[in-house]
A = this chain, B = another copy of it.
Protein backbone atom coordinates (compact mmCIF):
# COMPACT_ATOMS: atom_id res chain seq x y z
CA UNK A 1 0.00 0.00 0.00
CA UNK A 2 2.76 2.37 0.95
CA UNK A 3 4.71 1.42 -2.17
CA UNK A 4 1.68 2.15 -4.33
CA UNK A 5 1.26 5.51 -2.67
CA UNK A 6 4.90 6.36 -3.35
CA UNK A 7 4.61 5.28 -6.97
CA UNK A 8 1.45 7.36 -7.35
CA UNK A 9 3.22 10.35 -5.84
CA UNK A 10 6.12 9.90 -8.25
CA UNK A 11 3.72 9.60 -11.20
CA UNK A 12 1.85 12.65 -9.97
CA UNK A 13 4.90 14.89 -9.83
CA UNK A 14 6.10 13.59 -13.21
CA UNK A 15 2.73 14.10 -14.86
CA UNK A 16 2.14 17.44 -13.17
CA UNK A 17 5.41 18.53 -14.72
CA UNK A 18 4.27 17.36 -18.12
CA UNK A 19 0.89 19.00 -17.91
CA UNK A 20 1.57 22.35 -16.27
CA UNK A 21 4.70 23.32 -18.13
CA UNK A 22 5.86 25.29 -15.09
CA UNK A 23 7.88 22.40 -13.70
CA UNK A 24 9.17 21.69 -17.20
CA UNK A 25 10.81 25.13 -17.10
CA UNK A 26 12.17 24.22 -13.63
CA UNK A 27 11.67 27.77 -12.46
CA UNK A 28 12.21 28.07 -8.72
CA UNK A 29 11.36 31.28 -6.91
CA UNK A 30 11.43 32.14 -3.20
CA UNK A 31 9.27 34.96 -1.85
CA UNK A 32 9.92 36.22 1.67
CA UNK A 33 7.00 37.86 3.48
CA UNK A 34 7.71 40.13 6.46
CA UNK A 35 4.74 41.27 8.56
CA UNK A 36 3.91 42.37 12.10
CA UNK A 37 3.13 39.52 14.49
CA UNK A 38 -0.30 39.67 16.08
CA UNK A 39 -2.83 37.30 17.55
CA UNK A 40 -5.72 39.74 17.29
CA UNK A 41 -6.80 42.95 15.58
CA UNK A 42 -6.19 44.00 11.97
CA UNK A 43 -2.62 42.66 11.89
CA UNK A 44 -3.95 39.33 13.18
CA UNK A 45 -5.92 39.21 9.94
CA UNK A 46 -2.75 40.04 8.01
CA UNK A 47 -0.96 37.02 9.53
CA UNK A 48 -3.88 34.71 8.73
CA UNK A 49 -4.20 35.85 5.13
CA UNK A 50 -0.42 35.75 4.53
CA UNK A 51 -0.28 32.13 5.67
CA UNK A 52 -3.34 31.13 3.64
CA UNK A 53 -2.04 32.87 0.52
CA UNK A 54 1.36 31.19 0.94
CA UNK A 55 -0.27 27.74 0.83
CA UNK A 56 -2.52 28.67 -2.07
CA UNK A 57 0.23 30.24 -4.19
CA UNK A 58 2.60 27.31 -3.64
CA UNK A 59 -0.14 25.05 -5.00
CA UNK A 60 -0.82 27.30 -7.98
CA UNK A 61 2.84 27.72 -8.99
CA UNK A 62 5.03 24.63 -8.75
CA UNK A 63 8.54 25.89 -8.02
CA UNK A 64 7.36 28.70 -5.75
CA UNK A 65 8.39 28.73 -2.10
CA UNK A 66 6.94 31.31 0.27
CA UNK A 67 8.56 32.07 3.65
CA UNK A 68 6.37 34.08 6.06
CA UNK A 69 8.13 35.80 8.98
CA UNK A 70 6.27 37.69 11.70
CA UNK A 71 7.96 40.22 13.99
CA UNK A 72 6.77 41.77 17.27
CA UNK A 73 8.19 45.27 16.64
CA UNK A 74 10.10 47.41 14.14
CA UNK A 75 13.58 46.48 15.39
CA UNK A 76 12.72 42.78 15.23
CA UNK A 77 11.35 43.28 11.73
CA UNK A 78 14.64 44.86 10.64
CA UNK A 79 16.42 41.73 11.90
CA UNK A 80 13.90 39.48 10.18
CA UNK A 81 14.67 41.28 6.90
CA UNK A 82 18.36 40.48 7.31
CA UNK A 83 17.52 36.82 7.95
CA UNK A 84 15.27 36.63 4.90
CA UNK A 85 17.97 38.28 2.77
CA UNK A 86 20.50 35.67 3.93
CA UNK A 87 18.12 32.97 2.62
CA UNK A 88 18.58 34.41 -0.89
CA UNK A 89 14.97 35.37 -1.53
CA UNK A 90 13.98 36.51 -5.03
CA UNK A 91 11.30 38.84 -3.74
CA UNK A 92 10.30 40.51 -0.50
CA UNK A 93 6.71 41.38 0.38
CA UNK A 94 6.80 43.69 3.39
CA UNK A 95 4.16 45.39 5.52
CA UNK A 96 6.41 47.69 7.57
CA UNK A 97 5.72 48.48 11.22
CA UNK A 98 6.56 52.06 10.40
CA UNK A 99 8.27 54.05 7.67
CA UNK A 100 11.09 55.58 9.73
CA UNK A 101 12.53 52.38 11.12
CA UNK A 102 12.10 50.09 8.12
CA UNK A 103 13.07 52.23 5.11
CA UNK A 104 16.80 51.55 5.41
CA UNK A 105 16.50 47.81 6.16
CA UNK A 106 14.24 47.33 3.12
CA UNK A 107 16.68 49.38 1.00
CA UNK A 108 19.47 46.98 2.02
CA UNK A 109 17.39 43.99 0.86
CA UNK A 110 16.69 45.78 -2.43
CA UNK A 111 20.41 46.45 -2.99
CA UNK A 112 20.97 42.69 -3.23
CA UNK A 113 18.77 42.64 -6.35
CA UNK A 114 15.62 41.50 -4.57
CA UNK A 115 12.23 42.48 -6.02
CA UNK A 116 10.38 44.53 -3.38
CA UNK A 117 6.63 44.82 -2.79
CA UNK A 118 5.49 47.23 -0.06
CA UNK A 119 2.04 46.91 1.52
CA UNK A 120 -0.21 49.46 3.28
CA UNK A 121 2.32 51.72 5.02
CA UNK A 122 4.66 53.37 2.55
CA UNK A 123 8.41 53.70 2.98
CA UNK A 124 10.04 57.13 3.17
CA UNK A 125 11.79 56.46 -0.15
CA UNK A 126 9.27 55.14 -2.67
CA UNK A 127 11.98 54.48 -5.26
CA UNK A 128 12.86 51.32 -3.28
CA UNK A 129 9.62 49.55 -4.14
CA UNK A 130 8.75 47.70 -7.33
CA UNK A 131 5.11 47.28 -6.36
CA UNK A 132 3.03 49.16 -3.80
CA UNK A 133 -0.29 47.72 -2.62
CA UNK A 134 -2.52 49.83 -0.40
CA UNK A 135 -6.06 50.57 0.68
CA UNK A 136 -7.93 53.64 -0.51
CA UNK A 137 -8.42 56.02 2.41
CA UNK A 138 -10.22 58.90 0.65
CA UNK A 139 -12.60 56.31 -0.83
CA UNK A 140 -13.02 54.69 2.61
CA UNK A 141 -14.44 58.00 3.89
CA UNK A 142 -16.48 58.70 0.78
CA UNK A 143 -18.17 55.28 0.77
CA UNK A 144 -19.08 55.64 4.46
CA UNK A 145 -20.45 59.17 3.98
CA UNK A 146 -22.46 58.16 0.94
CA UNK A 147 -23.97 55.25 2.91
CA UNK A 148 -25.03 57.66 5.68
CA UNK A 149 -26.54 60.12 3.20
CA UNK A 150 -28.34 57.39 1.23
CA UNK A 151 -29.64 55.56 4.30
CA UNK A 152 -30.56 58.38 6.68
CA UNK A 153 -31.48 61.02 4.08
CA UNK A 154 -31.76 63.40 7.03
CA UNK A 155 -30.55 63.29 10.65
CA UNK A 156 -27.65 63.83 13.06
CA UNK A 157 -24.44 61.82 13.17
CA UNK A 158 -21.28 61.78 15.28
CA UNK A 159 -17.81 61.00 13.94
CA UNK A 160 -14.98 59.02 15.52
CA UNK A 161 -11.52 59.94 14.32
CA UNK A 162 -8.49 57.65 14.69
CA UNK A 163 -5.05 59.10 15.33
CA UNK A 164 -4.08 62.47 13.78
CA UNK A 165 -2.49 61.21 10.53
CA UNK A 166 -2.81 61.76 6.79
CA UNK A 167 -4.88 58.55 6.65
CA UNK A 168 -7.35 59.89 9.20
CA UNK A 169 -7.53 63.30 7.52
CA UNK A 170 -8.24 61.75 4.09
CA UNK A 171 -10.98 59.56 5.52
CA UNK A 172 -12.78 62.26 7.50
CA UNK A 173 -12.54 64.97 4.82
CA UNK A 174 -14.09 62.69 2.24
CA UNK A 175 -16.76 61.46 4.64
CA UNK A 176 -17.90 65.05 5.25
CA UNK A 177 -17.70 65.89 1.54
CA UNK A 178 -20.00 62.95 0.78
CA UNK A 179 -22.60 64.36 3.19
CA UNK A 180 -22.72 67.74 1.44
CA UNK A 181 -26.13 68.48 -0.04
CA UNK A 182 -27.81 65.78 2.06
CA UNK A 183 -29.92 66.37 5.16
CA UNK A 184 -27.34 64.63 7.34
CA UNK A 185 -25.54 66.85 9.84
CA UNK A 186 -22.38 66.18 11.88
CA UNK A 187 -22.94 66.97 15.57
CA UNK A 188 -19.40 66.22 16.77
CA UNK A 189 -16.05 64.67 15.83
CA UNK A 190 -13.32 63.59 18.24
CA UNK A 191 -10.23 61.38 18.19
CA UNK A 192 -10.44 57.92 19.79
CA UNK A 193 -7.15 56.51 18.50
CA UNK A 194 -8.63 53.49 16.68
CA UNK A 195 -9.01 52.09 20.19
CA UNK A 196 -12.03 50.34 21.70
CA UNK A 197 -11.73 51.76 25.22
CA UNK A 198 -11.09 55.31 24.01
CA UNK A 199 -14.12 55.02 21.72
CA UNK A 200 -16.22 53.82 24.67
CA UNK A 201 -15.28 56.98 26.63
CA UNK A 202 -15.79 59.34 23.70
CA UNK A 203 -19.20 57.79 23.03
CA UNK A 204 -20.20 58.30 26.69
CA UNK A 205 -19.30 61.96 26.23
CA UNK A 206 -21.31 62.21 22.98
CA UNK A 207 -24.32 60.57 24.65
CA UNK A 208 -24.29 63.00 27.55
CA UNK A 209 -23.92 66.02 25.24
CA UNK A 210 -26.35 65.09 22.45
CA UNK A 211 -29.89 63.99 23.28
CA UNK A 212 -30.66 62.82 19.73
CA UNK A 213 -28.11 60.94 17.61
CA UNK A 214 -29.40 59.12 14.55
CA UNK A 215 -26.27 57.21 13.56
CA UNK A 216 -22.58 56.85 14.45
CA UNK A 217 -19.67 56.76 12.05
CA UNK A 218 -17.24 54.77 14.23
CA UNK A 219 -15.00 54.53 11.13
CA UNK A 220 -13.28 51.41 12.53
CA UNK A 221 -14.58 48.07 13.82
CA UNK A 222 -12.63 48.20 17.08
CA UNK A 223 -14.00 51.66 17.82
CA UNK A 224 -17.47 50.42 16.80
CA UNK A 225 -17.32 47.79 19.57
CA UNK A 226 -16.59 50.50 22.14
CA UNK A 227 -19.45 52.60 20.77
CA UNK A 228 -21.91 49.70 20.95
CA UNK A 229 -21.01 49.00 24.57
CA UNK A 230 -21.54 52.66 25.55
CA UNK A 231 -24.92 52.72 23.79
CA UNK A 232 -25.94 49.47 25.48
CA UNK A 233 -25.00 50.73 28.95
CA UNK A 234 -26.79 54.05 28.39
CA UNK A 235 -29.90 52.23 27.10
CA UNK A 236 -30.27 54.85 24.35
CA UNK A 237 -32.66 53.87 21.59
CA UNK A 238 -32.33 56.93 19.34
CA UNK A 239 -29.28 55.52 17.58
CA UNK A 240 -30.40 53.64 14.48
CA UNK A 241 -27.03 52.12 13.53
CA UNK A 242 -23.24 52.20 13.89
CA UNK A 243 -20.98 52.11 10.83
CA UNK A 244 -17.48 50.78 11.49
CA UNK A 245 -14.79 49.87 9.02
CA UNK A 246 -12.02 47.36 8.18
CA UNK A 247 -13.89 44.05 7.96
CA UNK A 248 -13.52 42.41 11.41
CA UNK A 249 -15.16 39.00 11.26
CA UNK A 250 -17.53 39.65 14.21
CA UNK A 251 -18.86 42.73 12.40
CA UNK A 252 -19.15 40.97 9.04
CA UNK A 253 -21.09 38.19 10.81
CA UNK A 254 -23.53 40.74 12.20
CA UNK A 255 -24.00 42.21 8.73
CA UNK A 256 -24.63 38.70 7.35
CA UNK A 257 -27.08 37.95 10.14
CA UNK A 258 -29.07 41.13 9.48
CA UNK A 259 -28.24 42.84 12.81
CA UNK A 260 -30.01 46.22 12.57
CA UNK A 261 -27.36 48.05 14.60
CA UNK A 262 -24.63 46.88 12.18
CA UNK A 263 -26.26 46.94 8.75
CA UNK A 264 -23.01 47.52 6.85
CA UNK A 265 -19.25 47.85 7.03
CA UNK A 266 -16.55 49.41 4.80
CA UNK A 267 -13.62 47.24 3.77
CA UNK A 268 -9.97 47.98 4.49
CA UNK A 269 -8.94 44.37 4.18
CA UNK A 270 -5.98 42.78 5.98
CA UNK A 271 -6.18 40.36 3.04
CA UNK A 272 -4.39 43.07 1.01
CA UNK A 273 -1.25 41.14 2.03
CA UNK A 274 -2.60 38.27 -0.12
CA UNK A 275 -3.12 40.67 -3.02
CA UNK A 276 0.50 41.79 -2.70
CA UNK A 277 1.76 38.20 -2.61
CA UNK A 278 -0.41 37.28 -5.62
CA UNK A 279 0.85 40.10 -7.86
CA UNK A 280 4.43 39.47 -6.73
CA UNK A 281 4.19 35.79 -7.67
CA UNK A 282 2.65 36.80 -11.01
CA UNK A 283 5.73 38.95 -11.69
CA UNK A 284 7.82 35.77 -11.74
CA UNK A 285 5.39 33.27 -13.28
CA UNK A 286 3.72 35.34 -16.04
CA UNK A 287 4.86 37.74 -18.78
CA UNK A 288 2.54 40.44 -17.48
CA UNK A 289 4.18 43.67 -16.26
CA UNK A 290 3.36 43.91 -12.55
CA UNK A 291 5.53 46.81 -11.34
CA UNK A 292 3.25 49.64 -10.25
CA UNK A 293 0.84 50.88 -7.61
CA UNK A 294 -2.29 48.87 -6.79
CA UNK A 295 -4.84 50.79 -4.73
CA UNK A 296 -7.64 48.51 -3.55
CA UNK A 297 -11.20 49.76 -3.41
CA UNK A 298 -12.87 50.53 -0.12
CA UNK A 299 -16.00 48.47 -0.60
CA UNK A 300 -19.36 48.85 1.06
CA UNK A 301 -20.14 45.51 2.69
CA UNK A 302 -23.85 44.76 3.08
CA UNK A 303 -25.90 41.61 3.60
CA UNK A 304 -25.68 40.83 -0.12
CA UNK A 305 -21.88 40.57 -0.39
CA UNK A 306 -20.83 39.99 3.25
CA UNK A 307 -19.98 36.32 2.67
CA UNK A 308 -17.17 37.37 0.28
CA UNK A 309 -15.59 39.24 3.19
CA UNK A 310 -16.13 36.62 5.91
CA UNK A 311 -13.16 34.49 7.00
CA UNK A 312 -14.27 32.56 10.12
CA UNK A 313 -10.83 30.93 10.57
CA UNK A 314 -9.06 34.30 10.77
CA UNK A 315 -8.49 35.84 14.21
CA UNK A 316 -9.80 39.16 12.81
Contact = CB atoms under 8 A, between A and B. Distances in A.
A12 B18 contact: yes
A50 B288 CA distance: 10
A58 to B, nearest CB: 11
Contact of A49 (B12, B20, B269, B287): B287
A191 interface: no
A21 to B, nearest CB: 6
A279 interface: yes
Contacts of A285: 60
Interface in A288-303: 288-297, 299
A275 interface: yes
A39 interface: no
Interface residues of A, number: 46
Contacts of A52: 287
Contacts of A274: 286-289
Most buried by B among A15, A53, A61: A15
A291 B311 CA distance: 18
A294 B297 contact: no
A34 interface: no
Interface in A163-222: none
B288 A299 contact: no
A137 interface: no
Contacts of A22: 59-60
Given A8-B15, A11-B11, A15-B15, A272 B294 contact: no
Contacts of A297: 130, 289, 291-293
A57 to B, nearest CB: 8
A20 B282 contact: no
A269 B292 CA distance: 12
A297 B292 CA distance: 5
Nearest first, the 6 A-B pairs at minimum CB distance are A274-B288, A292-B296, A12-B15, A275-B288, A291-B297, A294-B294
Given A292-B296, A292-B297, 14 more contacts: A11-B15, A13-B19, A15-B15, A16-B19, A60-B285, A60-B286, A136-B292, A271-B287, A272-B289, A278-B282, A279-B279, A289-B297, A290-B296, A293-B297
5 contacts: A11-B15, A12-B18, A56-B287, A278-B286, A289-B297
